[in-house]
Chains A and B, each alone.
Chain A
Amino acid sequence: MMEWMEKQMPKLVLAPSFAASLIFVYGFIGWTAWVSLTKSKLLPRYDIVGPIQYQRLFDSPRWDVALSNLFVFGFLFIVISMLLGLVLAILLDQKIRTEGIIRTIYLYPMALSLIVTGTAWKWILNPGLGFEAMVQSWGWDSFTFGWLVDPDMAIYTVVIAGVWQASGFVMALFLAGLRSVDQEIIKAAQVDGIPTWRIYSSIILPSMAAVFLSAFIVLAHLAIKSFDLVIALTGGGPGYATDLPATYMYTMAFSRGDIGQAASSAMVMMMVVFAIVVPYLYSELRARND
């Protein structure tokens, strides 16, 4: 008996965790998928009627706003964070004596909760007493900056705060990538008199494709899951102008009592994540096995 136990120990140890993920990940996804095909409202129902919830979802103007916000926010957030992160990494890669301190400053927002970030930027961007009032007090009286309360522009304030939070992290990823490039090749290029910008554009950056990809994956993942930041910064408003799929799902689930809509919007979110993550994971796993 003891010997059997000892032999099976690895399996016995892993079993509870695996069972937990079977239930709480796969089982739960199955439950949500099932319920998304029913007429569930305040209480879940289990008789499948077909994709009516998805039809309702895509007929809903609010979901339309949420989805297009996701694309606008996601695109700008990813592109600006990547550009800023890359520029900062290259600047910091020039043998800076105080690199440690500067890196620490660039990266600290990543340690904050998005609720904290949202609260801070909400105060800075508020038109009455914040940034707008400050610039006006410098003498530029006609200066206005009311994005936070403008339904057409509010989503860009989410981009501003999001970039502030995540760009330092992208910098850290890129900096690690820059450092892992073979230094011999760079030295050889320098000896040949190739200008620094050409060394970056033709030698270093092309060899960092994997880093670009993983930065993209992380940022895309962050963008799709963005929930806290919108809640704290704009509360989804004005109206529902800054709704994202994540806030739409939450509103349906917990304030509207529309479980069918909550489940179907969650499933769409998951499909978007998978469309991005699965090819990446697949290529990663294949690369490791080769």
Chain B
Amino acid sequence: MTNSLITNPLRKMMKRLVLRWLLYLLLCTFALYYMMPLFVMITTSLKNLEEIRTGSLMSLPREITMAAWSTAWSSACTGIQCEGLRPYFWNSVLLAVPAVLISTIIGAINGYVVAQWRFKLSNILFALMLFGCFIPFQVVLLPMARVLGMTGLAGSISGLIFVHVIYGIGFTTLFFRNYYVTIPAELVKAAKVDGASFWRIFFSIFLPLSLPIIVVTVIWQFTQIWNDFLFGVSFSQAGTQPITVALNNIVNSTTGVKEYNVDMAAAIIAALPTLLVYIVAGKYFIRGLTAGSVKG
């Protein structure tokens, strides 16, 4: 009797400890699974081709060389041209910065109207606009290619900016709308009584409150646009391609010896900006993801 009284709590504690241990083991195993491709990418990018051919996938590089990185950045071939990723990296910057800014600004103003200045049809208009987020973009590729051709924007970065703004607005509007509906309508009413105008209320009341949602929206849009491939490959031409398209060209059009280390270095370069954003502002990234989860 007394014996079991002593051993029982002890056994329970032991069981708990083992379970806890197992739990951490499992969690770490999964962490390794998610880290593995990144690890392989980094180590492969630091090896020379000889070592890749003779060594193992997951071994650490015997001697570290940055040669693959400099090839990927400035001399890898994306088809006929062999200028590396550099020009395409800047294409993506030139594309993403204006497209993110414009779609965020338009989204903020639209969201302000839809949340705080409702008129008769505003909810239906908003629902119709939001619907545009859900279409598979294949359904607009053909007519968009024609419109860009007719307006002379085909194959240009401005054309791509235009496309990303158009199909980003529905979503940025949703973000701001969901944020602004939480601000009490009495605030607008009181400001109106005081004679403040539509724009005045926006700039001096709403905008100063908007920092968190601006961060979420900018991060979301930046990730979407930087990582986009479909629009990039459909609407750009040699010289204006974004980095994802150039990366795919480097990986899939190398003739002769396959330079895996260059491929991996190029992939990391293409991933670096969004990874950096994720590491620095992961909290906002996740907030955008879950808020944007209806879009996918």
A residues whose Cβ falls under 8 Å from a Cβ of B? 6, 9-11, 13-14, 17-18, 20-22, 24-29, 31-32, 35, 44, 88, 91-92, 94, 96, 102, 104-117, 119-124, 129-131, 133-134, 137, 164, 168-169, 172-173, 176, 214-215, 217-219, 221-222, 224-225, 227-228, 231-232, 235, 245-246, 249-250, 253-254, 259, 262-263, 265-267, 269-270, 273-274, 277, 281, 284-285
B138 touches A246 (CB 8 A): yes
With A29-B140, A31-B142, A91-B27 as contacts: A270 and B135 at CB distance below 8 Å: yes
Per-residue interface assignment for chain B, residues 106 to 140, with 1 indicating a CB less than 8 Å from any chain A CB and 0 otherwise: 10011001100111001001011101101111111
| Smallest CB separation, B55 vs chain A (Å) | 9
Q: B27 is contacted by which of A21, A92, A221, A224 (Cβ under 8 Å)?
A: A92
Identify which of residues 123-180 in chain B touch chain A, using a CB-to-CB cut-off of 8 Å: 125, 127-129, 131-132, 134-146, 166-167, 169-170, 173
A25 touches B125 (CB 8 A): no
Contacts of A109 in B (CB 8 A): 34, 37
**B275 at interface by CB-CB < 8 Å:** yes
Contacts of B129 in A (CB 8 A): 17-18, 21
Segment from B5-13, B93-101, B208-216, B245-253 that makes contact with A = B245-253
For A280, the closest partner residue in chain B by CB is: B294
Contacts of A176 in B (CB 8 A): 290
15 pairs from A and B in contact (CB 8 Å cutoff)? A28-B144, A32-B142, A94-B23, A104-B282, A106-B34, A107-B282, A113-B227, A113-B247, A116-B267, A129-B52, A173-B290, A218-B293, A225-B137, A262-B142, A273-B136
Contacts of A91 in B (CB 8 A): 23, 26-27, 30
Contacts of B142 in A (CB 8 A): 31-32, 35, 44, 253, 259, 262-263, 266
Interface of chain A: mostly helix, strand, loop or mixed = helix
| Smallest CB separation, A128 vs chain B (Å) | 9
The interface centre, meaning the residue of B58, B110, B248 with most chain A CB atoms within 10 A of its CB, is B248
| Smallest CB separation, B235 vs chain A (Å) | 10
B229 touches A115 (CB 8 A): yes
Nearest 4 pairs between A and B by C-beta? A113-B227, A10-B117, A221-B296, A111-B278
Identify which of residues 39-71 in chain B touch chain A, using a CB-to-CB cut-off of 8 Å: 40-41, 44, 52-53, 56-58
With A21-B170, A111-B277 as contacts: A232 and B248 at CB distance below 8 Å: yes
With A10-B113, A17-B173, A109-B34 as contacts: A217 and B27 at CB distance below 8 Å: no
**B264 at interface by CB-CB < 8 Å:** yes
Contacts of B53 in A (CB 8 A): 129
In the assembled complex, the Cα of A31 lies from the Cα of B27 at a distance in Å of: 50
With A10-B198, A113-B271, A265-B138 as contacts: A124 and B57 at CB distance below 8 Å: yes
